[in-house]
Chains A and B, each alone.
Chain A
Amino acid sequence: MAYPDDVRYTQEHEWARQEGDLLVIGITNYATDQLGDVVFVELPEVGKVVEVGKTFGVVEAVKTVSDLYAPVAGTIAEVNGALGDNPALVNQEPYGDGWMIKLRPSDPNAFAKLLSNSDYEKLVEESH
Protein backbone atom coordinates (compact mmCIF):
# COMPACT_ATOMS: atom_id res chain seq x y z
CA MET A 1 0.00 0.00 0.00
CA ALA A 2 1.37 3.44 -0.94
CA TYR A 3 1.03 6.53 1.24
CA PRO A 4 1.20 9.96 -0.44
CA ASP A 5 4.15 12.21 0.47
CA ASP A 6 2.24 15.52 0.36
CA VAL A 7 0.58 14.85 3.73
CA ARG A 8 1.81 13.95 7.22
CA TYR A 9 0.40 11.18 9.42
CA THR A 10 -0.53 10.12 12.95
CA GLN A 11 -0.31 6.71 14.54
CA GLU A 12 -4.12 6.80 14.81
CA HIS A 13 -4.23 6.68 10.97
CA GLU A 14 -5.22 10.27 10.30
CA TRP A 15 -3.46 12.42 7.70
CA ALA A 16 -3.03 16.22 7.59
CA ARG A 17 -2.22 18.48 4.63
CA GLN A 18 -1.19 22.14 4.80
CA GLU A 19 -3.55 24.50 2.97
CA GLY A 20 -2.60 28.12 3.69
CA ASP A 21 -3.07 28.67 7.43
CA LEU A 22 -5.24 25.59 7.76
CA LEU A 23 -4.69 21.86 8.01
CA VAL A 24 -6.99 19.57 6.02
CA ILE A 25 -7.52 16.31 7.89
CA GLY A 26 -8.81 12.90 6.90
CA ILE A 27 -8.10 9.21 7.46
CA THR A 28 -5.58 7.11 5.57
CA ASN A 29 -6.20 4.45 2.96
CA TYR A 30 -4.87 1.95 5.49
CA ALA A 31 -7.66 3.06 7.86
CA THR A 32 -10.37 2.80 5.21
CA ASP A 33 -9.10 -0.65 4.26
CA GLN A 34 -9.40 -1.75 7.89
CA LEU A 35 -12.82 -0.18 8.36
CA GLY A 36 -14.54 -1.28 5.17
CA ASP A 37 -17.48 0.63 3.75
CA VAL A 38 -18.01 3.91 5.62
CA VAL A 39 -21.70 4.71 6.11
CA PHE A 40 -21.58 7.77 8.36
CA VAL A 41 -19.10 10.36 9.60
CA GLU A 42 -20.00 12.42 12.66
CA LEU A 43 -18.11 15.71 12.53
CA PRO A 44 -17.80 18.59 15.01
CA GLU A 45 -19.29 22.06 14.64
CA VAL A 46 -17.24 24.85 13.10
CA GLY A 47 -15.60 26.91 15.85
CA LYS A 48 -15.13 24.00 18.21
CA VAL A 49 -11.74 23.83 19.91
CA VAL A 50 -10.06 20.43 19.78
CA GLU A 51 -7.09 19.12 21.72
CA VAL A 52 -4.31 17.05 20.25
CA GLY A 53 -5.04 13.33 20.45
CA LYS A 54 -8.63 13.89 21.58
CA THR A 55 -11.62 12.70 19.58
CA PHE A 56 -13.21 15.14 17.17
CA GLY A 57 -15.68 12.76 15.53
CA VAL A 58 -16.76 9.22 14.79
CA VAL A 59 -16.59 7.16 11.63
CA GLU A 60 -19.15 4.37 11.29
CA ALA A 61 -18.53 1.55 8.84
CA VAL A 62 -20.85 -1.36 8.13
CA LYS A 63 -18.84 -3.70 10.32
CA THR A 64 -17.16 -1.45 12.84
CA VAL A 65 -16.86 2.00 14.35
CA SER A 66 -13.84 4.17 15.09
CA ASP A 67 -13.20 7.48 16.83
CA LEU A 68 -11.39 10.25 14.96
CA TYR A 69 -8.45 11.86 16.78
CA ALA A 70 -7.15 15.37 16.24
CA PRO A 71 -3.56 15.26 14.89
CA VAL A 72 -2.85 18.70 16.37
CA ALA A 73 -4.66 21.14 18.67
CA GLY A 74 -6.71 23.90 17.08
CA THR A 75 -10.08 25.27 16.08
CA ILE A 76 -12.44 23.68 13.55
CA ALA A 77 -12.58 26.01 10.54
CA GLU A 78 -14.63 23.88 8.14
CA VAL A 79 -16.18 20.41 7.91
CA ASN A 80 -16.80 18.37 4.77
CA GLY A 81 -20.56 18.60 4.31
CA ALA A 82 -20.43 16.36 1.22
CA LEU A 83 -19.84 13.36 3.50
CA GLY A 84 -23.39 13.73 4.84
CA ASP A 85 -24.90 12.64 1.53
CA ASN A 86 -22.01 10.52 0.37
CA PRO A 87 -19.91 8.98 3.17
CA ALA A 88 -18.49 6.52 0.61
CA LEU A 89 -16.18 9.37 -0.52
CA VAL A 90 -14.01 8.41 2.45
CA ASN A 91 -13.40 4.99 0.86
CA GLN A 92 -13.19 6.28 -2.70
CA GLU A 93 -10.86 9.23 -2.16
CA PRO A 94 -9.46 9.20 1.36
CA TYR A 95 -6.86 11.92 0.53
CA GLY A 96 -9.15 13.93 -1.74
CA ASP A 97 -12.92 14.48 -1.63
CA GLY A 98 -13.10 12.21 1.43
CA TRP A 99 -11.42 14.80 3.68
CA MET A 100 -13.18 15.41 6.99
CA ILE A 101 -12.24 18.70 8.66
CA LYS A 102 -10.13 21.81 8.20
CA LEU A 103 -8.40 22.90 11.38
CA ARG A 104 -6.73 26.18 12.32
CA PRO A 105 -3.78 24.91 14.39
CA SER A 106 -3.02 26.68 17.66
CA ASP A 107 0.69 25.92 17.13
CA PRO A 108 1.88 26.51 13.55
CA ASN A 109 4.87 24.22 14.17
CA ALA A 110 2.79 21.21 15.24
CA PHE A 111 2.34 19.99 11.66
CA ALA A 112 6.07 19.43 11.16
CA LYS A 113 6.11 17.04 14.14
CA LEU A 114 3.67 14.60 12.52
CA LEU A 115 4.92 11.42 10.83
CA SER A 116 6.34 11.39 7.32
CA ASN A 117 4.93 8.86 4.84
CA SER A 118 7.95 6.59 5.27
CA ASP A 119 7.61 6.70 9.09
CA TYR A 120 3.92 5.95 8.76
CA GLU A 121 4.57 3.07 6.39
CA LYS A 122 7.04 1.62 8.90
CA LEU A 123 4.48 1.97 11.69
CA VAL A 124 1.81 0.16 9.69
CA GLU A 125 4.20 -2.63 8.76
CA GLU A 126 5.28 -3.08 12.37
CA SER A 127 1.67 -3.50 13.48
CA HIS A 128 1.42 -6.66 11.33
Chain B
Amino acid sequence: MEPSTVVRRTPFYDYHRDAGARLVDFAGFEMPVRYTGDVREHLAVRNGVGLFDITHMGEFEVRGEGAQAYLDQVVTNHVGGLAVGQALYSPMCRPDGGIVDDLLVYRYADHYMVVVNASNMAKDFAWMESQCPTGVTLGDRSAETALLAIQGPKAAEMLRPHVPAEALELGYYRFMTGTLFGAPATISRTGYTGEDGFELYFDVKYAQAVWKGVMAAGTPLGLELIGLGARDTLRLEMGYMLYGNDIDDVTTPLEAGLGWTVKLQKGDFTGRDVLVKQKAEGLKKKLVGFTLEGRRVPRHGMAIHVGGKVVGVVTSGTFSPSLERPIGMGYVEVAHAATGTALEIMAGGTALPARVTARPFYTRGSHKS
Protein backbone atom coordinates (compact mmCIF):
# COMPACT_ATOMS: atom_id res chain seq x y z
CA MET B 1 0.00 0.00 0.00
CA GLU B 2 1.30 3.46 -0.90
CA PRO B 3 1.43 5.85 2.04
CA SER B 4 -1.33 8.39 1.67
CA THR B 5 -0.29 12.00 1.22
CA VAL B 6 -3.80 13.29 1.92
CA VAL B 7 -4.19 14.43 5.50
CA ARG B 8 -7.34 12.91 6.96
CA ARG B 9 -9.69 14.45 9.48
CA THR B 10 -11.84 12.76 12.08
CA PRO B 11 -15.59 13.53 12.17
CA PHE B 12 -14.86 15.73 15.23
CA TYR B 13 -12.47 18.03 13.39
CA ASP B 14 -14.80 21.04 13.35
CA TYR B 15 -15.27 20.79 17.12
CA HIS B 16 -11.49 20.79 17.66
CA ARG B 17 -11.02 23.79 15.40
CA ASP B 18 -13.88 25.70 17.00
CA ALA B 19 -12.43 24.97 20.45
CA GLY B 20 -9.20 26.67 19.36
CA ALA B 21 -7.08 23.52 19.23
CA ARG B 22 -3.60 23.59 17.82
CA LEU B 23 -3.85 20.97 15.08
CA VAL B 24 -0.92 18.90 13.85
CA ASP B 25 -0.37 16.12 11.37
CA PHE B 26 -0.17 12.91 13.39
CA ALA B 27 0.09 9.60 11.53
CA GLY B 28 -1.65 11.14 8.53
CA PHE B 29 -4.46 12.72 10.55
CA GLU B 30 -4.95 16.37 11.41
CA MET B 31 -5.26 15.95 15.16
CA PRO B 32 -5.59 18.29 18.16
CA VAL B 33 -2.30 18.38 20.06
CA ARG B 34 -3.38 21.00 22.58
CA TYR B 35 -6.51 23.03 23.36
CA THR B 36 -5.66 25.19 26.39
CA GLY B 37 -2.32 23.92 27.73
CA ASP B 38 -0.57 20.60 28.28
CA VAL B 39 -0.41 20.94 32.08
CA ARG B 40 -3.98 22.09 32.52
CA GLU B 41 -5.29 19.30 30.29
CA HIS B 42 -3.14 16.71 32.04
CA LEU B 43 -4.32 17.73 35.51
CA ALA B 44 -7.95 17.82 34.36
CA VAL B 45 -7.69 14.10 33.59
CA ARG B 46 -5.88 13.33 36.86
CA ASN B 47 -8.37 15.30 39.00
CA GLY B 48 -11.58 15.54 37.01
CA VAL B 49 -12.50 14.23 33.59
CA GLY B 50 -11.23 14.72 30.04
CA LEU B 51 -12.39 13.88 26.53
CA PHE B 52 -10.00 12.61 23.86
CA ASP B 53 -10.73 12.12 20.16
CA ILE B 54 -8.66 9.07 19.22
CA THR B 55 -10.60 8.18 16.10
CA HIS B 56 -7.31 8.03 14.22
CA MET B 57 -6.63 4.61 15.73
CA GLY B 58 -7.29 1.57 13.53
CA GLU B 59 -9.96 -1.08 14.10
CA PHE B 60 -9.81 -4.47 12.41
CA GLU B 61 -12.52 -7.10 12.60
CA VAL B 62 -11.60 -10.79 12.68
CA ARG B 63 -14.28 -13.38 12.01
CA GLY B 64 -14.52 -17.10 11.35
CA GLU B 65 -14.07 -20.49 12.99
CA GLY B 66 -10.33 -20.13 13.27
CA ALA B 67 -10.27 -16.49 14.43
CA GLN B 68 -8.98 -17.21 17.93
CA ALA B 69 -6.28 -19.62 16.76
CA TYR B 70 -5.20 -17.11 14.11
CA LEU B 71 -4.97 -14.23 16.58
CA ASP B 72 -3.03 -16.42 18.99
CA GLN B 73 -0.60 -17.09 16.15
CA VAL B 74 0.00 -13.38 15.41
CA VAL B 75 0.05 -11.87 18.93
CA THR B 76 2.14 -12.84 21.97
CA ASN B 77 -0.53 -12.61 24.68
CA HIS B 78 -3.20 -15.33 25.09
CA VAL B 79 -6.35 -14.53 23.10
CA GLY B 80 -7.71 -18.02 23.89
CA GLY B 81 -7.93 -17.00 27.54
CA LEU B 82 -10.37 -14.15 26.86
CA ALA B 83 -13.99 -14.31 27.97
CA VAL B 84 -16.64 -12.63 25.82
CA GLY B 85 -16.63 -8.99 26.92
CA GLN B 86 -12.95 -8.95 27.79
CA ALA B 87 -10.11 -7.02 26.16
CA LEU B 88 -6.41 -7.80 26.08
CA TYR B 89 -3.24 -5.76 25.55
CA SER B 90 -0.62 -7.50 23.43
CA PRO B 91 2.42 -6.95 21.27
CA MET B 92 2.37 -8.43 17.76
CA CYS B 93 5.82 -9.69 16.79
CA ARG B 94 7.89 -10.40 13.72
CA PRO B 95 9.59 -13.80 13.42
CA ASP B 96 12.77 -12.16 14.81
CA GLY B 97 10.90 -11.00 17.93
CA GLY B 98 10.78 -7.32 16.92
CA ILE B 99 7.46 -5.63 17.63
CA VAL B 100 5.22 -4.89 14.62
CA ASP B 101 2.79 -3.03 16.88
CA ASP B 102 1.17 -3.10 20.29
CA LEU B 103 -2.58 -3.46 20.19
CA LEU B 104 -5.81 -4.39 21.96
CA VAL B 105 -7.87 -7.50 21.17
CA TYR B 106 -11.56 -7.41 22.10
CA ARG B 107 -13.56 -10.64 22.24
CA TYR B 108 -17.20 -10.22 21.17
CA ALA B 109 -19.75 -13.06 21.10
CA ASP B 110 -19.17 -13.83 17.42
CA HIS B 111 -15.97 -12.04 16.41
CA TYR B 112 -12.87 -10.18 17.57
CA MET B 113 -11.85 -6.53 17.18
CA VAL B 114 -8.17 -5.57 17.02
CA VAL B 115 -7.31 -1.94 17.78
CA VAL B 116 -3.98 -0.73 16.42
CA ASN B 117 -1.90 2.43 16.37
CA ALA B 118 -2.79 4.91 13.63
CA SER B 119 0.84 5.15 12.54
CA ASN B 120 0.93 1.39 11.90
CA MET B 121 -2.50 0.81 10.41
CA ALA B 122 -1.43 -0.05 6.86
CA LYS B 123 1.61 -2.03 7.99
CA ASP B 124 -0.41 -4.01 10.52
CA PHE B 125 -3.20 -4.83 8.11
CA ALA B 126 -0.76 -6.08 5.48
CA TRP B 127 1.13 -8.06 8.12
CA MET B 128 -2.00 -9.69 9.51
CA GLU B 129 -3.46 -10.32 6.06
CA SER B 130 -0.27 -12.13 5.00
CA GLN B 131 -0.80 -14.64 7.81
CA CYS B 132 -4.58 -14.93 7.60
CA PRO B 133 -5.70 -18.52 6.93
CA THR B 134 -8.63 -19.70 4.83
CA GLY B 135 -11.85 -19.51 6.79
CA VAL B 136 -10.85 -16.40 8.71
CA THR B 137 -11.83 -12.97 7.41
CA LEU B 138 -9.93 -9.85 8.31
CA GLY B 139 -11.74 -6.56 7.70
CA ASP B 140 -10.63 -2.96 8.15
CA ARG B 141 -13.35 -0.99 9.98
CA SER B 142 -11.14 2.02 10.73
CA ALA B 143 -12.79 4.45 8.32
CA GLU B 144 -16.28 3.94 9.73
CA THR B 145 -15.34 3.67 13.41
CA ALA B 146 -15.25 6.72 15.69
CA LEU B 147 -13.41 6.42 19.00
CA LEU B 148 -13.65 8.76 21.96
CA ALA B 149 -11.95 8.26 25.32
CA ILE B 150 -13.43 9.72 28.50
CA GLN B 151 -10.88 9.46 31.28
CA GLY B 152 -10.57 10.67 34.83
CA PRO B 153 -11.87 10.02 38.35
CA LYS B 154 -15.17 11.71 37.42
CA ALA B 155 -15.68 9.70 34.21
CA ALA B 156 -18.13 7.21 35.73
CA GLU B 157 -20.15 9.92 37.45
CA MET B 158 -20.35 11.79 34.17
CA LEU B 159 -21.60 8.85 32.11
CA ARG B 160 -23.79 7.26 34.79
CA PRO B 161 -27.11 8.63 33.44
CA HIS B 162 -26.19 7.79 29.83
CA VAL B 163 -24.84 4.24 29.78
CA PRO B 164 -26.46 0.94 30.78
CA ALA B 165 -26.03 0.34 34.53
CA GLU B 166 -23.85 -2.73 33.87
CA ALA B 167 -21.27 -0.57 32.13
CA LEU B 168 -20.49 1.09 35.45
CA GLU B 169 -19.89 -2.29 37.13
CA LEU B 170 -17.43 -3.53 34.50
CA GLY B 171 -13.85 -4.12 35.65
CA TYR B 172 -10.71 -2.79 33.97
CA TYR B 173 -10.27 -4.22 30.46
CA ARG B 174 -13.93 -5.34 30.33
CA PHE B 175 -16.46 -4.06 27.81
CA MET B 176 -20.04 -4.38 26.66
CA THR B 177 -22.15 -3.31 23.75
CA GLY B 178 -25.01 -0.93 24.40
CA THR B 179 -26.64 2.31 23.34
CA LEU B 180 -25.00 5.63 24.07
CA PHE B 181 -26.63 8.93 23.09
CA GLY B 182 -28.65 6.98 20.51
CA ALA B 183 -25.64 5.22 19.01
CA PRO B 184 -24.99 1.49 19.18
CA ALA B 185 -21.58 1.46 20.84
CA THR B 186 -18.86 -0.61 22.37
CA ILE B 187 -18.39 0.71 25.89
CA SER B 188 -14.96 -0.32 27.10
CA ARG B 189 -13.31 0.22 30.50
CA THR B 190 -9.88 0.76 29.01
CA GLY B 191 -7.58 3.73 28.60
CA TYR B 192 -4.06 5.07 28.25
CA THR B 193 -3.98 7.39 31.24
CA GLY B 194 -3.99 5.34 34.46
CA GLU B 195 -7.34 6.83 35.39
CA ASP B 196 -10.78 5.27 35.54
CA GLY B 197 -12.63 5.79 32.32
CA PHE B 198 -14.16 4.62 29.11
CA GLU B 199 -13.26 4.16 25.48
CA LEU B 200 -16.31 4.40 23.24
CA TYR B 201 -16.40 2.90 19.76
CA PHE B 202 -19.31 3.71 17.44
CA ASP B 203 -20.12 4.31 13.78
CA VAL B 204 -18.92 7.69 12.49
CA LYS B 205 -22.47 8.48 11.36
CA TYR B 206 -23.34 9.04 15.05
CA ALA B 207 -20.34 11.31 15.65
CA GLN B 208 -22.31 14.56 16.06
CA ALA B 209 -24.94 13.05 18.33
CA VAL B 210 -22.40 11.40 20.61
CA TRP B 211 -20.11 14.44 20.78
CA LYS B 212 -23.01 16.72 21.69
CA GLY B 213 -24.28 14.22 24.26
CA VAL B 214 -20.86 13.83 25.83
CA MET B 215 -20.30 17.58 26.00
CA ALA B 216 -23.71 18.20 27.56
CA ALA B 217 -23.12 15.45 30.13
CA GLY B 218 -19.60 16.61 30.91
CA THR B 219 -19.86 20.37 31.03
CA PRO B 220 -21.47 20.51 34.51
CA LEU B 221 -18.58 18.34 35.80
CA GLY B 222 -15.89 20.49 34.20
CA LEU B 223 -15.12 18.14 31.30
CA GLU B 224 -12.04 19.37 29.40
CA LEU B 225 -10.94 18.56 25.86
CA ILE B 226 -7.57 16.81 25.89
CA GLY B 227 -5.02 16.86 23.09
CA LEU B 228 -2.34 14.40 22.08
CA GLY B 229 0.23 16.35 24.10
CA ALA B 230 -1.41 15.57 27.43
CA ARG B 231 -2.25 12.06 26.22
CA ASP B 232 1.49 11.50 25.94
CA THR B 233 2.39 12.92 29.37
CA LEU B 234 -0.42 10.92 30.99
CA ARG B 235 0.74 7.64 29.46
CA LEU B 236 4.37 8.35 30.26
CA GLU B 237 3.61 8.97 33.95
CA MET B 238 2.15 5.44 33.91
CA GLY B 239 5.15 4.00 32.07
CA TYR B 240 2.99 2.86 29.16
CA MET B 241 4.66 2.20 25.81
CA LEU B 242 4.40 4.51 22.81
CA TYR B 243 5.09 2.65 19.59
CA GLY B 244 7.82 4.33 17.57
CA ASN B 245 9.34 5.79 20.75
CA ASP B 246 9.72 3.03 23.33
CA ILE B 247 9.08 -0.03 21.19
CA ASP B 248 9.57 -0.71 17.49
CA ASP B 249 10.57 -3.30 14.89
CA VAL B 250 13.97 -3.83 16.51
CA THR B 251 12.97 -4.12 20.16
CA THR B 252 11.37 -7.21 21.66
CA PRO B 253 8.59 -7.38 24.26
CA LEU B 254 11.06 -8.90 26.74
CA GLU B 255 13.47 -5.99 26.36
CA ALA B 256 10.56 -3.57 26.77
CA GLY B 257 9.53 -5.17 30.07
CA LEU B 258 6.39 -6.59 28.48
CA GLY B 259 7.22 -10.16 29.52
CA TRP B 260 3.81 -10.36 31.19
CA THR B 261 2.23 -10.18 27.72
CA VAL B 262 4.35 -12.98 26.26
CA LYS B 263 2.65 -16.33 26.90
CA LEU B 264 5.29 -18.86 25.86
CA GLN B 265 3.21 -21.75 27.24
CA LYS B 266 0.18 -21.06 24.99
CA GLY B 267 1.72 -22.83 21.96
CA ASP B 268 3.41 -21.55 18.85
CA PHE B 269 3.17 -17.92 17.76
CA THR B 270 5.14 -15.65 15.47
CA GLY B 271 8.39 -14.68 17.16
CA ARG B 272 8.17 -17.35 19.86
CA ASP B 273 11.45 -19.12 19.01
CA VAL B 274 13.49 -15.94 19.27
CA LEU B 275 11.76 -14.90 22.51
CA VAL B 276 12.36 -18.34 24.07
CA LYS B 277 16.04 -18.04 23.17
CA GLN B 278 16.29 -14.47 24.43
CA LYS B 279 14.70 -15.46 27.72
CA ALA B 280 17.10 -18.40 28.14
CA GLU B 281 20.22 -16.44 27.22
CA GLY B 282 19.27 -13.31 29.14
CA LEU B 283 18.71 -9.79 27.88
CA LYS B 284 21.45 -7.39 26.77
CA LYS B 285 19.36 -4.25 27.09
CA LYS B 286 16.25 -3.40 29.01
CA LEU B 287 13.75 -0.55 29.12
CA VAL B 288 13.92 1.37 32.41
CA GLY B 289 12.20 4.39 33.86
CA PHE B 290 14.18 7.20 35.42
CA THR B 291 13.59 10.45 37.24
CA LEU B 292 15.78 13.53 37.27
CA GLU B 293 16.58 16.26 39.74
CA GLY B 294 16.25 19.82 38.50
CA ARG B 295 14.03 20.86 35.63
CA ARG B 296 15.92 19.98 32.46
CA VAL B 297 13.90 17.40 30.56
CA PRO B 298 15.18 14.19 28.92
CA ARG B 299 14.14 13.83 25.27
CA HIS B 300 13.83 10.96 22.79
CA GLY B 301 17.23 10.10 21.32
CA MET B 302 19.48 11.55 24.03
CA ALA B 303 22.37 9.27 25.05
CA ILE B 304 22.47 7.69 28.52
CA HIS B 305 25.91 7.53 30.15
CA VAL B 306 27.39 5.75 33.16
CA GLY B 307 30.96 6.58 34.12
CA GLY B 308 31.49 8.57 30.93
CA LYS B 309 30.47 5.68 28.65
CA VAL B 310 27.34 5.30 26.53
CA VAL B 311 25.12 2.60 28.05
CA GLY B 312 21.82 3.43 26.44
CA VAL B 313 19.39 5.86 24.85
CA VAL B 314 16.32 7.81 25.95
CA THR B 315 13.11 6.70 24.23
CA SER B 316 10.59 9.03 25.94
CA GLY B 317 10.88 11.99 28.25
CA THR B 318 8.76 14.78 29.58
CA PHE B 319 8.21 17.09 32.49
CA SER B 320 5.69 15.25 34.65
CA PRO B 321 2.85 17.64 35.51
CA SER B 322 1.68 15.45 38.41
CA LEU B 323 5.08 14.87 40.00
CA GLU B 324 6.44 18.29 38.95
CA ARG B 325 9.75 16.80 37.90
CA PRO B 326 11.31 15.41 34.73
CA ILE B 327 10.76 11.71 33.98
CA GLY B 328 11.79 9.45 31.15
CA MET B 329 12.26 5.95 29.83
CA GLY B 330 15.04 4.42 27.81
CA TYR B 331 16.99 1.31 27.02
CA VAL B 332 20.15 0.62 29.03
CA GLU B 333 22.57 -2.29 29.23
CA VAL B 334 21.16 -4.70 31.83
CA ALA B 335 24.10 -4.08 34.21
CA HIS B 336 22.71 -0.56 34.72
CA ALA B 337 19.01 -1.39 34.89
CA ALA B 338 18.53 -1.92 38.63
CA THR B 339 16.27 0.52 40.47
CA GLY B 340 18.37 3.22 42.09
CA THR B 341 21.21 3.08 39.55
CA ALA B 342 22.70 6.52 38.82
CA LEU B 343 22.62 7.50 35.13
CA GLU B 344 23.57 10.62 33.20
CA ILE B 345 21.32 11.90 30.43
CA MET B 346 23.31 13.82 27.82
CA ALA B 347 21.40 16.98 26.86
CA GLY B 348 23.72 18.51 24.30
CA GLY B 349 26.88 19.19 26.27
CA THR B 350 25.16 18.98 29.65
CA ALA B 351 25.03 15.76 31.70
CA LEU B 352 21.74 15.58 33.62
CA PRO B 353 21.89 13.31 36.70
CA ALA B 354 19.12 10.69 36.71
CA ARG B 355 18.20 7.65 38.74
CA VAL B 356 16.51 4.42 37.62
CA THR B 357 13.00 4.46 39.10
CA ALA B 358 10.25 1.85 39.34
CA ARG B 359 7.26 2.40 37.08
CA PRO B 360 4.57 3.62 37.12
CA PHE B 361 5.96 7.00 38.07
CA TYR B 362 2.48 8.09 39.08
CA THR B 363 0.84 5.70 41.54
CA ARG B 364 -2.35 7.48 42.57
CA GLY B 365 -4.37 6.75 39.40
CA SER B 366 -8.07 5.94 39.74
CA HIS B 367 -8.16 3.12 37.18
CA LYS B 368 -9.79 -0.11 38.23
CA SER B 369 -7.64 -3.15 38.87
**Chain A contact residues, CB within 8 Å of chain B:** 33, 36-37, 39-40, 42, 58, 60-65, 87, 91
Contacts and interface: CB of A to CB of B under 8 A. Distances in A.
A22 B146 CA distance: 56
Given A40-B294, A60-B295, A63-B38, 10 more contacts: A36-B34, A37-B40, A39-B319, A40-B295, A60-B296, A62-B233, A62-B318, A63-B318, A65-B299, A87-B295
B162 to A, nearest CB: 32
Contact of B319 (A33, A42, A62, A91): A62
B39 A37 contact: yes
A37 B38 contact: yes
Contacts of A91: 37
Sort chain B's interface into a size bin: 10 to 19
Contact of B37 (A37, A42, A65, A87): A37
Where chain B touches its partner, the secondary structure class is mixed
Nearest to A87: B295
A37 B294 CA distance: 17
B229 interface: yes
Given A36-B34, A36-B37, A63 B296 contact: no
A102 B128 CA distance: 60
B367 to A, nearest CB: 22
B297 interface: yes
Contacts of A64: 299
Nearest to B233: A62
Contacts of B299: 64-65
Nearest to B299: A65
Contact of A36 (B229, B294, B296, B347): B229
A62 B321 CA distance: 8
Interface in B204-243: 229, 232-233
B4 to A, nearest CB: 22
B141 interface: no
B327 to A, nearest CB: 11
B22 interface: yes
Interface in B284-299: 294-297, 299
Nearest to A42: B296
A9 B22 CA distance: 23
Interface string B32-43: 001001111010
Given A33-B22, A36-B229, A39-B319, A62 B38 contact: yes
Interface string B103-143: 00000000000000000000000000000000000000000
Contacts of A33: 22
B22 A63 contact: no
Contacts of B319: 39-40, 60-62
A87 B319 CA distance: 13
Contacts of B40: 37
23 contacts: A36-B37, A36-B38, A37-B38, A37-B40, A39-B319, A40-B294, A40-B295, A40-B297, A58-B296, A60-B295, A60-B296, A60-B297, A60-B319, A61-B38, A62-B38, A62-B42, A62-B297, A63-B38, A63-B229, A63-B232, A64-B299, A65-B347, A87-B295
